[in-house]
A and B are shown apart, each in its own frame.
Chain A
Amino acid sequence: MPAFDVEILGKIYHIDIPDPGATPLQVIVDGEPFEIGIIGTEVSSAPAKPAAPPHPAPAPVALPQPPRGTVTRPAVPTDTNGVNTVVAPMPGTILSVNVVVGQSMDTGQVLCVLEAMKMKNPIRATHPGTVVEICVQPGQTVPYGEVLIRLA
Protein backbone atom coordinates (compact mmCIF):
# COMPACT_ATOMS: atom_id res chain seq x y z
CA MET A 1 0.00 0.00 0.00
CA PRO A 2 1.19 3.52 -0.67
CA ALA A 3 2.81 5.24 2.24
CA PHE A 4 4.59 8.56 2.45
CA ASP A 5 5.60 11.30 4.82
CA VAL A 6 4.19 14.77 4.39
CA GLU A 7 5.50 17.90 5.99
CA ILE A 8 2.89 20.50 6.92
CA LEU A 9 3.79 23.65 8.83
CA GLY A 10 7.06 22.08 9.87
CA LYS A 11 5.49 18.94 11.28
CA ILE A 12 5.88 15.57 9.61
CA TYR A 13 2.90 13.26 9.28
CA HIS A 14 3.13 9.67 8.16
CA ILE A 15 0.35 8.78 5.76
CA ASP A 16 -0.85 5.33 4.67
CA ILE A 17 -3.47 4.62 2.06
CA PRO A 18 -4.47 0.96 2.38
CA ASP A 19 -6.56 0.86 -0.80
CA PRO A 20 -6.06 3.71 -3.24
CA GLY A 21 -9.11 2.68 -5.29
CA ALA A 22 -11.62 2.79 -2.44
CA THR A 23 -14.42 5.35 -2.19
CA PRO A 24 -14.59 6.94 0.23
CA LEU A 25 -10.83 6.88 0.31
CA GLN A 26 -9.38 5.81 3.59
CA VAL A 27 -6.26 7.57 4.75
CA ILE A 28 -4.33 6.75 7.88
CA VAL A 29 -2.44 9.67 9.35
CA ASP A 30 0.01 8.64 12.07
CA GLY A 31 -2.04 5.53 12.81
CA GLU A 32 -5.33 7.35 12.92
CA PRO A 33 -7.86 6.52 10.20
CA PHE A 34 -9.80 9.18 8.29
CA GLU A 35 -12.31 8.84 5.51
CA ILE A 36 -12.04 11.21 2.63
CA GLY A 37 -14.43 11.79 -0.19
CA ILE A 38 -12.54 13.19 -3.17
CA ILE A 39 -14.31 15.70 -5.33
CA GLY A 40 -13.08 16.25 -8.83
CA THR A 41 -12.24 13.92 -11.68
CA GLU A 42 -8.51 14.24 -11.81
CA VAL A 43 -7.74 12.47 -8.56
CA SER A 44 -10.48 9.90 -8.47
CA SER A 45 -9.35 8.49 -11.77
CA ALA A 46 -5.85 8.05 -10.45
CA PRO A 47 -5.89 4.61 -8.82
CA ALA A 48 -3.85 3.27 -11.72
CA LYS A 49 -0.55 3.54 -9.91
CA PRO A 50 -0.13 4.79 -6.35
CA ALA A 51 2.54 7.29 -7.22
CA ALA A 52 2.92 9.63 -4.31
CA PRO A 53 3.10 13.09 -5.92
CA PRO A 54 -0.42 13.34 -7.40
CA HIS A 55 -1.89 12.56 -4.03
CA PRO A 56 -1.41 15.60 -1.86
CA ALA A 57 -5.14 15.87 -1.26
CA PRO A 58 -5.44 13.75 1.91
CA ALA A 59 -3.17 15.80 4.10
CA PRO A 60 -5.09 19.10 4.15
CA VAL A 61 -8.28 17.26 4.98
CA ALA A 62 -6.71 15.53 7.92
CA LEU A 63 -5.11 18.65 9.23
CA PRO A 64 -7.97 20.58 10.88
CA GLN A 65 -7.73 18.38 13.96
CA PRO A 66 -4.48 17.96 15.80
CA PRO A 67 -3.87 14.29 15.08
CA ARG A 68 -2.63 13.15 18.52
CA GLY A 69 -3.28 13.45 22.19
CA THR A 70 -6.70 15.07 22.23
CA VAL A 71 -9.87 13.68 23.66
CA THR A 72 -12.38 15.32 21.39
CA ARG A 73 -12.25 12.65 18.78
CA PRO A 74 -15.10 12.39 16.31
CA ALA A 75 -16.93 9.15 15.74
CA VAL A 76 -14.71 8.39 12.79
CA PRO A 77 -13.08 5.21 14.13
CA THR A 78 -16.36 3.36 14.56
CA ASP A 79 -17.48 4.37 11.10
CA THR A 80 -14.40 2.94 9.50
CA ASN A 81 -14.79 -0.23 11.54
CA GLY A 82 -16.99 -1.72 8.87
CA VAL A 83 -14.53 -0.89 6.11
CA ASN A 84 -11.17 -2.40 6.79
CA THR A 85 -9.85 -1.53 10.18
CA VAL A 86 -10.96 -3.18 13.38
CA VAL A 87 -10.86 -0.78 16.30
CA ALA A 88 -11.22 -1.24 20.06
CA PRO A 89 -14.93 -0.84 20.94
CA MET A 90 -13.94 0.23 24.47
CA PRO A 91 -10.75 0.66 26.46
CA GLY A 92 -9.11 -2.52 27.69
CA THR A 93 -6.21 -4.92 27.47
CA ILE A 94 -5.48 -7.25 24.58
CA LEU A 95 -5.43 -10.79 25.97
CA SER A 96 -4.63 -12.66 22.79
CA VAL A 97 -4.38 -12.14 19.06
CA ASN A 98 -5.95 -15.10 17.33
CA VAL A 99 -4.94 -14.43 13.73
CA VAL A 100 -1.75 -14.02 11.70
CA VAL A 101 -0.95 -11.66 8.85
CA GLY A 102 -2.11 -13.07 5.54
CA GLN A 103 -4.84 -15.21 7.07
CA SER A 104 -8.21 -14.97 5.39
CA MET A 105 -11.17 -14.27 7.64
CA ASP A 106 -14.84 -15.14 7.59
CA THR A 107 -17.51 -12.93 9.08
CA GLY A 108 -17.78 -13.61 12.80
CA GLN A 109 -14.35 -15.13 13.18
CA VAL A 110 -12.53 -14.09 16.36
CA LEU A 111 -9.65 -11.74 15.58
CA CYS A 112 -8.47 -11.01 19.08
CA VAL A 113 -9.73 -10.97 22.65
CA LEU A 114 -10.06 -7.67 24.50
CA GLU A 115 -10.33 -7.75 28.26
CA ALA A 116 -12.38 -4.88 29.67
CA MET A 117 -13.69 -4.63 33.23
CA LYS A 118 -12.28 -8.14 33.89
CA MET A 119 -14.43 -9.58 31.11
CA LYS A 120 -13.11 -11.26 28.01
CA ASN A 121 -14.63 -9.80 24.86
CA PRO A 122 -14.02 -11.55 21.57
CA ILE A 123 -13.52 -9.03 18.77
CA ARG A 124 -14.88 -10.55 15.58
CA ALA A 125 -14.59 -9.76 11.90
CA THR A 126 -17.65 -7.91 10.64
CA HIS A 127 -17.02 -8.94 7.03
CA PRO A 128 -14.78 -11.40 5.21
CA GLY A 129 -11.26 -10.34 4.33
CA THR A 130 -7.58 -10.96 4.72
CA VAL A 131 -5.49 -9.82 7.67
CA VAL A 132 -3.07 -7.18 6.41
CA GLU A 133 -1.60 -5.90 9.62
CA ILE A 134 -1.80 -6.66 13.33
CA CYS A 135 -1.31 -3.44 15.25
CA VAL A 136 -1.41 -4.75 18.83
CA GLN A 137 0.29 -7.35 20.97
CA PRO A 138 -1.08 -9.47 23.79
CA GLY A 139 -0.79 -7.59 27.08
CA GLN A 140 -1.06 -4.20 25.43
CA THR A 141 -3.51 -1.66 26.87
CA VAL A 142 -5.58 0.03 24.21
CA PRO A 143 -7.71 3.17 24.40
CA TYR A 144 -11.13 3.37 22.80
CA GLY A 145 -10.92 3.58 19.03
CA GLU A 146 -7.37 2.24 18.75
CA VAL A 147 -6.79 0.33 15.52
CA LEU A 148 -6.30 -3.33 16.42
CA ILE A 149 -6.17 -5.11 13.10
CA ARG A 150 -6.37 -4.10 9.47
CA LEU A 151 -8.21 -6.25 7.01
CA ALA A 152 -8.32 -6.03 3.24
Chain B
Amino acid sequence: MQIGWDNLLDLVSSVTDLTWANVLMIAIGCVLIYLAIAKEYEPVLLIPIGVGAILANIPGAGMGIDLRAIASGEQTSGVFYPLYKAGIETELFPLLLFIGIGAMTDFGPLLANPRMVLVGAAGQFGIFGVLLLALASGRFSLNEAASIGIIGAIDGPTSIFVSSKLAPHLLAAIAVCAYTYMSLVPIIMMPVMRLLTTKKERLIRMPYIERPVSKRTRILFPIIITLLVGFLAPQASPLIGTLMFGNLLRESGVVDRLVKSASNEIANVTTIFLGLTIGATMVGTSFANLQTLIILALGILAFVLDIAAGILFGKLLNVATHGKFNPLIGAAGISAFPMAARVVNRVGLEEDYDNFLLMHAMGANAAGQIASVIAGGIVLALLVK
Protein backbone atom coordinates (compact mmCIF):
# COMPACT_ATOMS: atom_id res chain seq x y z
CA MET B 1 0.00 0.00 0.00
CA GLN B 2 1.22 3.37 -0.92
CA ILE B 3 1.27 6.14 1.58
CA GLY B 4 -0.18 9.24 0.02
CA TRP B 5 -0.71 12.79 1.07
CA ASP B 6 -4.16 11.94 2.37
CA ASN B 7 -2.78 9.58 4.96
CA LEU B 8 -0.20 12.09 6.07
CA LEU B 9 -2.90 14.70 6.39
CA ASP B 10 -4.89 12.28 8.55
CA LEU B 11 -1.92 12.02 10.87
CA VAL B 12 -1.79 15.74 11.42
CA SER B 13 -5.53 16.17 11.37
CA SER B 14 -5.52 17.12 15.01
CA VAL B 15 -3.46 20.15 14.11
CA THR B 16 -5.65 21.16 11.18
CA ASP B 17 -8.79 20.77 13.31
CA LEU B 18 -7.39 23.10 15.90
CA THR B 19 -9.53 26.22 16.22
CA TRP B 20 -8.53 29.60 17.62
CA ALA B 21 -10.67 28.82 20.66
CA ASN B 22 -8.72 25.60 21.32
CA VAL B 23 -5.45 27.52 21.10
CA LEU B 24 -6.77 30.17 23.46
CA MET B 25 -7.95 27.59 26.00
CA ILE B 26 -4.64 25.72 25.86
CA ALA B 27 -2.91 29.04 26.49
CA ILE B 28 -5.23 29.73 29.44
CA GLY B 29 -4.48 26.24 30.78
CA CYS B 30 -0.78 27.05 30.59
CA VAL B 31 -1.30 30.38 32.39
CA LEU B 32 -3.17 28.60 35.20
CA ILE B 33 -0.33 26.09 35.53
CA TYR B 34 2.19 28.94 35.51
CA LEU B 35 0.30 30.80 38.27
CA ALA B 36 0.11 27.59 40.27
CA ILE B 37 3.79 26.72 40.04
CA ALA B 38 5.54 30.08 39.83
CA LYS B 39 3.28 32.06 42.15
CA GLU B 40 1.83 29.19 44.22
CA TYR B 41 -1.74 30.47 43.79
CA GLU B 42 -3.93 27.54 44.88
CA PRO B 43 -1.59 25.10 43.11
CA VAL B 44 -3.54 22.13 44.40
CA LEU B 45 -6.51 23.12 42.24
CA LEU B 46 -5.03 25.19 39.45
CA ILE B 47 -2.63 22.49 38.21
CA PRO B 48 -5.40 19.89 37.68
CA ILE B 49 -7.69 22.53 36.16
CA GLY B 50 -4.94 23.79 33.84
CA VAL B 51 -4.02 20.28 32.69
CA GLY B 52 -7.69 19.45 32.21
CA ALA B 53 -8.10 22.53 30.01
CA ILE B 54 -5.11 21.58 27.87
CA LEU B 55 -6.26 17.97 27.42
CA ALA B 56 -9.82 19.01 26.61
CA ASN B 57 -8.70 21.18 23.73
CA ILE B 58 -6.64 18.61 21.83
CA PRO B 59 -8.87 17.92 18.81
CA GLY B 60 -9.77 14.27 18.37
CA ALA B 61 -8.55 13.26 21.84
CA GLY B 62 -12.13 13.14 23.09
CA MET B 63 -11.15 14.32 26.54
CA GLY B 64 -13.25 17.45 26.64
CA ILE B 65 -16.59 17.77 28.38
CA ASP B 66 -18.79 20.10 26.35
CA LEU B 67 -21.46 21.23 28.80
CA ARG B 68 -23.77 22.55 26.07
CA ALA B 69 -23.50 19.24 24.19
CA ILE B 70 -24.24 17.37 27.41
CA ALA B 71 -27.26 19.54 28.11
CA SER B 72 -28.63 18.84 24.63
CA GLY B 73 -27.83 15.12 24.90
CA GLU B 74 -25.20 15.17 22.11
CA GLN B 75 -22.27 14.10 24.27
CA THR B 76 -22.53 10.85 26.18
CA SER B 77 -18.94 9.66 26.35
CA GLY B 78 -15.38 10.77 26.89
CA VAL B 79 -12.62 10.00 29.33
CA PHE B 80 -13.78 12.46 31.96
CA TYR B 81 -17.48 12.07 31.17
CA PRO B 82 -18.11 9.46 33.90
CA LEU B 83 -16.36 11.68 36.46
CA TYR B 84 -18.52 14.60 35.42
CA LYS B 85 -21.70 12.53 35.65
CA ALA B 86 -20.79 10.90 38.95
CA GLY B 87 -19.13 13.71 40.78
CA ILE B 88 -20.33 17.05 39.49
CA GLU B 89 -23.79 16.50 38.09
CA THR B 90 -24.69 14.69 41.30
CA GLU B 91 -22.86 17.40 43.33
CA LEU B 92 -20.94 14.67 45.11
CA PHE B 93 -17.43 16.10 44.65
CA PRO B 94 -18.09 19.47 46.29
CA LEU B 95 -19.76 17.67 49.18
CA LEU B 96 -16.85 15.26 49.69
CA LEU B 97 -14.54 18.28 49.70
CA PHE B 98 -16.72 19.90 52.34
CA ILE B 99 -16.19 16.97 54.70
CA GLY B 100 -12.48 17.66 54.44
CA ILE B 101 -12.92 21.41 54.85
CA GLY B 102 -15.04 20.80 57.96
CA ALA B 103 -12.38 18.52 59.38
CA MET B 104 -9.77 21.22 58.82
CA THR B 105 -11.75 24.20 60.12
CA ASP B 106 -11.40 25.35 63.71
CA PHE B 107 -14.58 27.17 64.67
CA GLY B 108 -13.07 27.98 68.08
CA PRO B 109 -12.33 31.65 67.30
CA LEU B 110 -15.94 32.11 66.19
CA LEU B 111 -17.34 30.35 69.26
CA ALA B 112 -15.16 32.53 71.45
CA ASN B 113 -16.48 35.64 69.74
CA PRO B 114 -19.99 34.91 68.45
CA ARG B 115 -20.73 38.50 67.38
CA MET B 116 -18.50 37.79 64.37
CA VAL B 117 -21.52 36.02 62.87
CA LEU B 118 -22.76 39.47 61.87
CA VAL B 119 -19.54 40.17 59.97
CA GLY B 120 -19.90 36.85 58.16
CA ALA B 121 -23.41 37.79 57.12
CA ALA B 122 -22.29 41.18 55.82
CA GLY B 123 -19.63 39.47 53.74
CA GLN B 124 -22.30 37.83 51.57
CA PHE B 125 -23.62 41.09 50.17
CA GLY B 126 -21.84 40.58 46.84
CA ILE B 127 -23.86 37.44 46.10
CA PHE B 128 -27.15 39.28 46.12
CA GLY B 129 -25.77 42.52 44.68
CA VAL B 130 -24.37 40.76 41.62
CA LEU B 131 -27.45 38.55 41.30
CA LEU B 132 -29.54 41.69 40.86
CA LEU B 133 -26.98 43.28 38.55
CA ALA B 134 -26.73 40.22 36.31
CA LEU B 135 -30.50 40.07 36.16
CA ALA B 136 -30.74 43.77 35.34
CA SER B 137 -28.28 43.36 32.47
CA GLY B 138 -30.95 41.33 30.68
CA ARG B 139 -28.38 38.84 29.41
CA PHE B 140 -29.08 36.20 32.01
CA SER B 141 -32.11 34.33 33.30
CA LEU B 142 -32.87 34.38 37.02
CA ASN B 143 -31.25 30.98 37.54
CA GLU B 144 -28.16 32.03 35.62
CA ALA B 145 -27.93 35.32 37.49
CA ALA B 146 -28.16 33.50 40.82
CA SER B 147 -25.41 31.08 39.80
CA ILE B 148 -23.17 33.99 38.82
CA GLY B 149 -23.93 35.83 42.05
CA ILE B 150 -22.90 32.79 44.06
CA ILE B 151 -19.34 33.34 42.85
CA GLY B 152 -19.49 36.02 45.54
CA ALA B 153 -19.47 33.22 48.10
CA ILE B 154 -15.77 32.88 47.14
CA ASP B 155 -16.23 29.22 47.78
CA GLY B 156 -15.52 26.70 45.04
CA PRO B 157 -17.66 23.82 46.31
CA THR B 158 -20.66 26.06 47.05
CA SER B 159 -20.42 27.68 43.60
CA ILE B 160 -20.26 24.29 41.89
CA PHE B 161 -23.07 22.93 44.01
CA VAL B 162 -25.43 25.83 43.30
CA SER B 163 -24.65 26.31 39.62
CA SER B 164 -24.84 22.59 38.80
CA LYS B 165 -28.39 22.73 40.13
CA LEU B 166 -29.48 26.04 38.62
CA ALA B 167 -27.43 26.57 35.46
CA PRO B 168 -25.27 23.55 34.58
CA HIS B 169 -24.29 25.02 31.21
CA LEU B 170 -22.46 27.86 32.99
CA LEU B 171 -20.72 25.55 35.43
CA ALA B 172 -17.31 25.67 33.75
CA ALA B 173 -17.13 29.46 33.69
CA ILE B 174 -18.44 29.79 37.24
CA ALA B 175 -16.19 27.15 38.73
CA VAL B 176 -13.07 28.44 37.00
CA CYS B 177 -14.00 31.97 38.02
CA ALA B 178 -14.57 30.98 41.66
CA TYR B 179 -11.33 29.03 41.93
CA THR B 180 -9.27 31.64 40.12
CA TYR B 181 -10.51 34.40 42.39
CA MET B 182 -10.03 32.22 45.47
CA SER B 183 -6.43 31.86 44.42
CA LEU B 184 -6.17 35.62 44.01
CA VAL B 185 -7.64 36.42 47.45
CA PRO B 186 -4.64 38.42 48.71
CA ILE B 187 -4.23 40.37 45.47
CA ILE B 188 -7.88 41.35 45.30
CA MET B 189 -8.42 41.97 49.02
CA MET B 190 -5.46 44.16 49.88
CA PRO B 191 -6.13 47.15 47.58
CA VAL B 192 -9.83 47.17 48.49
CA MET B 193 -8.98 47.08 52.19
CA ARG B 194 -6.47 49.91 51.89
CA LEU B 195 -8.79 52.01 49.78
CA LEU B 196 -11.77 51.73 52.10
CA THR B 197 -10.06 52.21 55.46
CA THR B 198 -8.04 55.07 56.88
CA LYS B 199 -4.63 54.52 58.43
CA LYS B 200 -6.15 55.42 61.79
CA GLU B 201 -8.75 52.68 61.41
CA ARG B 202 -6.16 50.11 60.37
CA LEU B 203 -4.18 50.97 63.50
CA ILE B 204 -7.03 50.20 65.89
CA ARG B 205 -5.71 47.68 68.34
CA MET B 206 -7.67 44.59 69.14
CA PRO B 207 -5.91 42.55 71.76
CA TYR B 208 -6.68 38.87 71.91
CA ILE B 209 -9.48 38.08 74.30
CA GLU B 210 -8.94 34.88 76.16
CA ARG B 211 -12.25 33.12 76.31
CA PRO B 212 -11.94 29.37 76.49
CA VAL B 213 -14.48 27.32 74.57
CA SER B 214 -15.49 24.10 76.26
CA LYS B 215 -15.25 20.80 74.47
CA ARG B 216 -18.97 20.31 74.90
CA THR B 217 -19.68 23.56 73.04
CA ARG B 218 -17.35 22.54 70.24
CA ILE B 219 -19.12 19.20 69.87
CA LEU B 220 -22.64 20.58 70.12
CA PHE B 221 -21.94 23.38 67.65
CA PRO B 222 -21.82 21.28 64.45
CA ILE B 223 -24.90 19.31 65.48
CA ILE B 224 -26.96 22.39 66.37
CA ILE B 225 -25.91 24.24 63.19
CA THR B 226 -26.82 21.23 61.04
CA LEU B 227 -30.29 21.06 62.56
CA LEU B 228 -30.83 24.83 62.61
CA VAL B 229 -29.79 25.37 59.00
CA GLY B 230 -31.60 22.20 58.02
CA PHE B 231 -34.90 23.63 59.20
CA LEU B 232 -34.30 27.22 58.09
CA ALA B 233 -32.75 26.58 54.66
CA PRO B 234 -33.13 22.87 53.88
CA GLN B 235 -31.56 23.34 50.45
CA ALA B 236 -28.28 24.13 52.17
CA SER B 237 -28.39 20.89 54.15
CA PRO B 238 -26.10 18.85 51.88
CA LEU B 239 -23.39 21.51 52.12
CA ILE B 240 -23.76 22.42 55.79
CA GLY B 241 -24.34 18.78 56.74
CA THR B 242 -21.09 17.57 55.18
CA LEU B 243 -19.15 20.59 56.48
CA MET B 244 -20.42 20.01 60.01
CA PHE B 245 -19.93 16.26 59.77
CA GLY B 246 -16.25 16.86 59.04
CA ASN B 247 -16.09 19.31 61.92
CA LEU B 248 -17.76 16.89 64.33
CA LEU B 249 -15.16 14.27 63.40
CA ARG B 250 -12.49 16.80 64.28
CA GLU B 251 -13.97 17.99 67.56
CA SER B 252 -15.04 14.55 68.79
CA GLY B 253 -11.40 13.79 69.46
CA VAL B 254 -11.95 10.05 69.15
CA VAL B 255 -11.71 9.43 65.40
CA ASP B 256 -8.29 10.72 64.50
CA ARG B 257 -8.05 8.24 61.63
CA LEU B 258 -11.23 9.52 60.02
CA VAL B 259 -10.15 13.13 60.48
CA LYS B 260 -6.90 12.33 58.68
CA SER B 261 -8.70 10.52 55.86
CA ALA B 262 -11.25 13.29 55.43
CA SER B 263 -8.76 16.12 55.43
CA ASN B 264 -6.03 14.34 53.47
CA GLU B 265 -6.92 11.33 51.34
CA ILE B 266 -10.55 12.09 50.53
CA ALA B 267 -9.97 15.80 50.04
CA ASN B 268 -6.90 15.18 47.88
CA VAL B 269 -8.43 12.52 45.66
CA THR B 270 -11.58 14.61 45.24
CA THR B 271 -9.49 17.67 44.41
CA ILE B 272 -7.70 15.82 41.59
CA PHE B 273 -10.98 14.52 40.14
CA LEU B 274 -12.77 17.81 40.57
CA GLY B 275 -9.92 19.88 39.13
CA LEU B 276 -9.39 17.69 36.07
CA THR B 277 -13.11 17.48 35.36
CA ILE B 278 -13.72 21.20 35.74
CA GLY B 279 -10.67 21.86 33.56
CA ALA B 280 -11.98 19.44 30.93
CA THR B 281 -15.21 21.43 30.68
CA MET B 282 -13.26 24.41 29.33
CA VAL B 283 -13.74 23.26 25.73
CA GLY B 284 -13.11 25.67 22.85
CA THR B 285 -15.95 27.97 21.93
CA SER B 286 -18.34 26.65 24.53
CA PHE B 287 -16.03 28.28 27.08
CA ALA B 288 -14.13 30.93 25.12
CA ASN B 289 -16.95 33.38 24.49
CA LEU B 290 -18.22 36.76 25.52
CA GLN B 291 -20.53 35.27 28.13
CA THR B 292 -17.60 33.78 30.03
CA LEU B 293 -15.86 37.15 30.00
CA ILE B 294 -18.96 38.80 31.44
CA ILE B 295 -19.17 36.10 34.12
CA LEU B 296 -15.53 36.70 35.00
CA ALA B 297 -16.18 40.43 35.31
CA LEU B 298 -19.32 39.96 37.40
CA GLY B 299 -17.52 37.41 39.55
CA ILE B 300 -14.76 39.79 40.55
CA LEU B 301 -17.38 42.47 41.17
CA ALA B 302 -19.19 40.09 43.54
CA PHE B 303 -15.92 39.46 45.37
CA VAL B 304 -15.09 43.16 45.71
CA LEU B 305 -18.63 43.96 46.88
CA ASP B 306 -18.34 41.26 49.56
CA ILE B 307 -15.15 42.76 50.90
CA ALA B 308 -16.46 46.32 50.69
CA ALA B 309 -19.70 45.40 52.48
CA GLY B 310 -17.72 43.57 55.17
CA ILE B 311 -15.45 46.57 55.74
CA LEU B 312 -18.33 49.03 55.83
CA PHE B 313 -20.08 46.81 58.34
CA GLY B 314 -16.82 46.74 60.29
CA LYS B 315 -16.88 50.54 60.35
CA LEU B 316 -20.41 50.42 61.69
CA LEU B 317 -19.31 48.06 64.47
CA ASN B 318 -16.41 50.42 65.14
CA VAL B 319 -18.80 53.30 65.68
CA ALA B 320 -21.08 51.11 67.79
CA THR B 321 -18.19 50.04 70.04
CA HIS B 322 -16.75 53.56 70.26
CA GLY B 323 -13.63 52.89 68.27
CA LYS B 324 -12.76 49.42 69.55
CA PHE B 325 -13.37 47.42 66.35
CA ASN B 326 -10.82 47.39 63.56
CA PRO B 327 -12.82 47.58 60.29
CA LEU B 328 -10.20 45.46 58.51
CA ILE B 329 -11.72 42.45 60.25
CA GLY B 330 -14.90 43.02 58.26
CA ALA B 331 -13.01 42.00 55.13
CA ALA B 332 -12.51 38.52 56.61
CA GLY B 333 -16.24 37.83 56.61
CA ILE B 334 -15.99 35.89 53.36
CA SER B 335 -15.68 32.20 52.82
CA ALA B 336 -12.08 31.87 51.65
CA PHE B 337 -10.92 30.20 54.86
CA PRO B 338 -8.34 30.77 56.22
CA MET B 339 -6.73 32.92 53.52
CA ALA B 340 -8.99 35.93 54.13
CA ALA B 341 -8.17 36.01 57.84
CA ARG B 342 -4.47 35.76 57.11
CA VAL B 343 -4.64 38.67 54.70
CA VAL B 344 -6.41 40.78 57.34
CA ASN B 345 -3.74 39.89 59.87
CA ARG B 346 -1.02 40.76 57.37
CA VAL B 347 -2.48 44.16 56.50
CA GLY B 348 -2.90 44.94 60.20
CA LEU B 349 0.72 43.97 60.92
CA GLU B 350 1.95 46.15 58.06
CA GLU B 351 0.62 49.18 59.89
CA ASP B 352 1.60 48.07 63.38
CA TYR B 353 3.75 44.98 63.78
CA ASP B 354 2.49 44.49 67.31
CA ASN B 355 -1.22 44.40 66.47
CA PHE B 356 -2.25 40.81 65.81
CA LEU B 357 -5.77 40.70 64.39
CA LEU B 358 -5.50 37.03 63.48
CA MET B 359 -7.82 35.45 66.04
CA HIS B 360 -10.58 38.02 65.51
CA ALA B 361 -10.24 37.69 61.75
CA MET B 362 -10.39 33.88 62.05
CA GLY B 363 -13.68 34.22 63.91
CA ALA B 364 -15.11 36.42 61.17
CA ASN B 365 -13.73 34.10 58.50
CA ALA B 366 -15.26 30.99 60.06
CA ALA B 367 -18.57 32.86 60.22
CA GLY B 368 -18.16 33.78 56.55
CA GLN B 369 -17.63 30.14 55.69
CA ILE B 370 -20.93 29.16 57.28
CA ALA B 371 -22.78 32.25 56.02
CA SER B 372 -21.79 31.61 52.40
CA VAL B 373 -23.16 28.09 52.59
CA ILE B 374 -26.39 29.38 54.08
CA ALA B 375 -26.56 32.06 51.38
CA GLY B 376 -26.19 29.32 48.76
CA GLY B 377 -29.01 27.44 50.44
CA ILE B 378 -31.22 30.52 50.49
CA VAL B 379 -30.62 31.12 46.77
CA LEU B 380 -31.52 27.50 46.05
CA ALA B 381 -34.55 27.59 48.33
CA LEU B 382 -35.86 30.66 46.50
CA LEU B 383 -35.31 29.28 43.00
CA VAL B 384 -35.64 25.51 43.05
CA LYS B 385 -39.24 24.46 43.03
Contacts and interface: CB of A to CB of B under 8 A. Distances in A.
Contacts of A71: 210, 212
Contacts, number: 41
B341 interface: yes
A18 interface: no
Nearest to B205: A78
Contacts of B341: 117
**Chain B interface residue count: which class?**
10 to 19
Interface string B319-349: 0000000000000000000100110010001
Nearest to A81: B354
Contacts of A144: 208, 210
Contacts of B342: 119
Contacts of A78: 207
Contacts of B106: 117
Interface in B342-376: 342, 345, 349, 353-354, 356, 358-359, 362
A122 B345 CA distance: 12
Contact of A89 (B109, B208, B338, B362): B208
Nearest to B211: A71
A102 to B, nearest CB: 23
A132 interface: no
A52 to B, nearest CB: 34
B210 A145 contact: yes
Interface in A11-29: none
B334 to A, nearest CB: 16
A81 B356 CA distance: 14
A73 B359 CA distance: 18
Interface in A44-78: 71, 73, 75, 78
Contacts of B354: 81, 89, 124, 126
B345 A121 contact: yes
Given A90-B358, A108-B353, A118-B338, 15 more contacts: A71-B210, A71-B212, A81-B354, A89-B354, A90-B208, A116-B358, A116-B359, A117-B106, A117-B338, A117-B341, A117-B362, A119-B358, A121-B345, A121-B356, A126-B354
7 contacts: A89-B356, A90-B359, A117-B109, A117-B359, A118-B338, A119-B358, A124-B353
